[in-house]
Chains A and B, each alone.
Chain A
Amino acid sequence: MRLRFPERLSFVDVILWGLRVAIVVFVVAGSYATLSRGLLGLDSWRNLVIVGLAQGSIYALIALGYTLVYGVLFMINFAHGEVFMTGTFTAFFAATALADTGMLNENPLLGLGIILLVSMLTSMIVAVLLERIAYRPLRRAPRLVPLITAIGASLFLQYTVRSLYGSGVRSYPQVEILVGTYEIFGIPIQKTQAVVIVAAILLMVALYFFVQRTRTGRAMRAVSEDKDVAAMMGINVDRVIATTFAIGGLLAGAAGILYVFLFNVVSFSMGFLPGIKAFTAAVLGGIGNIVGAMLGGLFLGLLESVGPFLFLSGFGVPSTNQLRDVVAFTLLVLVLIFRPYGILGRKE
């Protein structure tokens, strides 16, 4: 950052600089206060880090959906959180059915596979229908119109699921083989957390190879560079966009099942917060950038897990876990104000 003094410092510039200074001071002072008071032991911090990584992996998978859609359409699919939710909630019924017949514990891999398939397929169908019904007619509209439509679609999906499935919170049946802890290099990590992190990494690697090495992936990259020229080159733009939404849906559905491994419950409103946080992650990494979405997700997960306690307990703030969402939203606001193109993005 080169220091350049502008001729006139406007009011907005003063506030922005004040904000930068305030944030840095706050973070440094808070962390110093917390660490010097030694409020948590090493294994507690380690635990927070692992939890953060696991949640971050889920955010990363959902963020990929946002980033892929932004890459081809330059629109933010606000309803993606609800895509995540519908798959997970529908798979709940499959899971209950499997648990009732005992298949879930006798043949766990097959059972989990079926549940994963149901979730991913449902999410994919919802995402494709969403694009077809809500976004395709608005392809040429000014930018704010699809955004507001997406918000409307998000509310519509939430309350449709609430009316169809009921407003209660449902608990997934427990899967025996996922109960317990592994010990890796002497660090205890719960089986669910390990599965989540490994599965997320596998899916992200698969997506990366899909986008970089296959024909469809190449078509997607072409459409995201220039839609009209890609059409001239013989690419069926409508189909590529539908495929993009479908892949985003598949990943969100998978993320849903991983979410359930960690949290065990589903409800009609479970999509809103993860959706916004995943969007934060996508923007943090540079929206439109796939690796950025993955890194952004992991970073956000870590920050959300470790941050509240690290920054705030030093000041004597009680119940810092309530403020995790504040940390996530503050990160969103700060990233968008100071670096909207993200870490891996470039100033346009």
Chain B
Amino acid sequence: MSQDMLRRFYLRAAGLGSLAAVVTIYLSLIGMVERFQPRNVITGVLTLGLLVPAIAVLIFAYRSTQPPRAWGESRPSVAHVIGASGLAGVVAGLLVAAFVIVNSQVTLSGMLINATPRLENLLTVGTGLPAGALLQVAAGAALGLAAAALRLMPGRLRRPLVTGLLALLLLSLMEPFMRVVLLQLDQAGIASWLYQSGGMTVPGAVATFVVVAGISAAYAFRGEAVRGRVRAMPSNRQRSIQIGAFVLVLVVLLLLPQIIGSFLSEVVGTVGLYILMGLGLNIVVGYAGLLDLGYVAFFAIGAYATAILTSPVSAAGVELGFWVAIPIVMLIAAVSGILIGAPVLRLRGDYLAIVTLGIGEIVRILLLSDALRPLTGGAQGILQVPPPELLDIDFFRPQNLYYPILAFVLAGAFVATSLA
């Protein structure tokens, strides 16, 4: 690279390092670093609070080793890659250290509520000020060198390494989920070997990394061969493999509430509701191209209609069963869709968005208002809405409510794919 280009290269690295510092300081000031601190990634070694800014610095430093395509084809030499990446890391470390020093001298916490001594303590890993600042710079340099190493190593080494680390991070973050599943499957032993205090144990972490990196490396060497063999199979064999995979997924979905327990079943049930709404919104925004920002008004109308029709204490007092009420509610929601949609059909894209936003807000305010209190219950809402009824199954249990939700999601997905 030419002299001039080298200068720009290093300047850009310094800029990226400053950006990394800005990101770190931002994450600290909004309280994310402190909030994530109690979460162990690898217990005793690494916490989430420090990992997130570290990853940010790493990414920026890595980016600084890749000159933008617009600069031409010349690539920096090994020494310059290390130099630039290290510079980015050091700049980041210096700026964060400066922030910590300023924070310790000036009381900002009246205004910026997270700029507390606790934060200072956290960012310096408990070593207090003069040592802490040097530690920041050193950490920045180390991250920069790590990024350079990542850049310089051959792709066949880098990919398994990164995949292994990502899998490690993922498995660690999934601790609440995995632990519940393992306990339900009577594998408490594995659970306590893998996890401790919310994070992974060191042996568990190492094992995970080795296994995943190994699989990734093996796939890189042999994966092409396997894929080729699959593609070479006759199409009805491929088809039966696809069907087999689909059936497997279906079986897992059906068994899911039994393995994950009550709380997680409720979480997955809520996920199912959001999937249903997303399917509907995809038809409006994706298939029809109408940016509807007030789509959630239909959710509200459907919910209130169900409540009014099924609750014993509602204004209508009809107390229909859930399954009888559903078709009526769907009809009401569809009609409201027509009524809301017809006037706005002729509007241009961004005006449509704002009109629907306005309509959504109108619906929200009206439903909460005192003016409609006799019907909607005002801010309190409608109480005692009964769950679905089927053969004495207790649908208050999230594990049971999951199944109607799953049924509706599958039906909705079928409708959505048929419309495509």
| B residues 23-69 in Cβ contact with A at 8 Å | 26, 29-32
Give B75 Cβ to nearest chain A Cβ, in Å: 26
| B residues 317-368 in Cβ contact with A at 8 Å | 339, 342-351, 353-355, 357-359, 361-362, 365-366
Interface pair B370/A336, CB less than 8 Å apart: no
- Look across to chain B and name the residue whose beta carbon is closest to the beta carbon of A322: B369
Interface pair B111/A15, CB less than 8 Å apart: no
Given A143-B350, A164-B30, A279-B354: A333 and B369 interface contact (C-beta under 8 Å): no
| A165 at interface, CB cutoff 8 A | yes
List of B residues within 8 angstroms of A330 by Cβ: 358, 362
Q: Give the segment of A101-109, A184-192, A211-219, A311-319 that binds chain B.
A: A311-319
List of A residues within 8 angstroms of B365 by Cβ: 322-323, 325-326, 329
| B291 at interface, CB cutoff 8 A | yes
Interface pair A76/B347, CB less than 8 Å apart: no
Mostly helix, strand, loop or mixed at chain B's interface? helix
| B196 at interface, CB cutoff 8 A | no
List of A residues within 8 angstroms of B293 by Cβ: 151
Give B289 Cβ to nearest chain A Cβ, in Å: 9
Interface pair B371/A19, CB less than 8 Å apart: no
List of A residues within 8 angstroms of B291 by Cβ: 144, 147-148
List of A residues within 8 angstroms of B343 by Cβ: 12, 15-16, 19, 337
Q: Please report the C-alpha to C-alpha distance between residue A336 and residue B362 in the assembled complex, in whole angstroms.
A: 15
Contact of B371 among A15, A322, A329 (CB under 8 A): A322
List of B residues within 8 angstroms of A279 by Cβ: 354
| B155 at interface, CB cutoff 8 A | no
Give B198 Cβ to nearest chain A Cβ, in Å: 23
Given A11-B342, A15-B343, A333-B362: A147 and B353 interface contact (C-beta under 8 Å): yes
List of A residues within 8 angstroms of B104 by Cβ: none
List of B residues within 8 angstroms of A317 by Cβ: 371
| B114 at interface, CB cutoff 8 A | yes
List of B residues within 8 angstroms of A322 by Cβ: 365, 369-371
Interface pair A143/B349, CB less than 8 Å apart: yes
List of A residues within 8 angstroms of B347 by Cβ: 336-337, 340
**Can you list, as one digit per residue, whether each of B100-117 has a CB less than 8 Å from chain A (1) or not (0)?**
000000000011111000
| A152 at interface, CB cutoff 8 A | no
A-B interface contact total, Cβ < 8 Å: 98
List of B residues within 8 angstroms of A318 by Cβ: 370-371
- Look across to chain B and name the residue whose beta carbon is closest to the beta carbon of A272: B361
List of A residues within 8 angstroms of B354 by Cβ: 76, 279, 332, 336
Q: Please report the C-alpha to C-alpha distance between residue A93 and residue B111 in the assembled complex, in whole angstroms.
A: 7
- Look across to chain B and name the residue whose beta carbon is closest to the beta carbon of A318: B370
- Look across to chain B and name the residue whose beta carbon is closest to the beta carbon of A16: B343
Interface pair B31/A144, CB less than 8 Å apart: no
Interface pair B370/A319, CB less than 8 Å apart: yes
List of B residues within 8 angstroms of A326 by Cβ: 362, 365-366, 369
Q: Please report the C-alpha to C-alpha distance between residue A190 and residue B361 in the assembled complex, in whole angstroms.
A: 32
Q: Interface residues of B toward A: which range?
A: 35 or more
Mostly helix, strand, loop or mixed at chain A's interface? helix
Give A33 Cβ to nearest chain B Cβ, in Å: 15
- Look across to chain B and name the residue whose beta carbon is closest to the beta carbon of A92: B111
Give B113 Cβ to nearest chain A Cβ, in Å: 5
Interface pair A329/B358, CB less than 8 Å apart: yes
List of A residues within 8 angstroms of B348 by Cβ: 340
List of B residues within 8 angstroms of A16 by Cβ: 342-343
Q: Please report the C-alpha to C-alpha distance between residue A247 and residue B258 in the assembled complex, in whole angstroms.
A: 60
Interface pair B113/A147, CB less than 8 Å apart: no
Give A58 Cβ to nearest chain B Cβ, in Å: 19
List of B residues within 8 angstroms of A312 by Cβ: 371
Interface pair B342/A332, CB less than 8 Å apart: no
Interface pair B361/A329, CB less than 8 Å apart: yes
Interface pair B351/A164, CB less than 8 Å apart: no
| A residues 145-169 in Cβ contact with B at 8 Å | 147-148, 151, 160, 163-166
Q: Please report the C-alpha to C-alpha distance between residue A147 and residue B353 in the assembled complex, in whole angstroms.
A: 9
List of A residues within 8 angstroms of B351 by Cβ: 336, 340
List of B residues within 8 angstroms of A325 by Cβ: 361, 365
| A276 at interface, CB cutoff 8 A | yes
| A residues 277-313 in Cβ contact with B at 8 Å | 279-280, 312
Q: Which of A's residues lie within 8 Å of B, judged by CB?
A: 11-12, 15-16, 19, 75-76, 93, 143-144, 147-148, 151, 160, 163-166, 276, 279-280, 312, 317-320, 322-323, 325-326, 329-330, 332-333, 336-337, 340
Q: 5 closest pairs, A vs B, by CB? A: A163-B30, A319-B370, A329-B358, A332-B358, A15-B342
Q: Which of B's residues lie within 8 Å of A, judged by CB?
A: 26, 29-32, 110-114, 291, 293, 339, 342-351, 353-355, 357-359, 361-362, 365-366, 369-371
Listed A/B pairs (7) with beta-carbon separation below 8 Å = A12-B343, A164-B29, A280-B358, A325-B361, A326-B366, A326-B369, A336-B351
Supply 4 further A-B pairs (C-beta < 8 A) apart from A337-B355, A340-B351: A75-B350, A143-B349, A276-B357, A323-B369
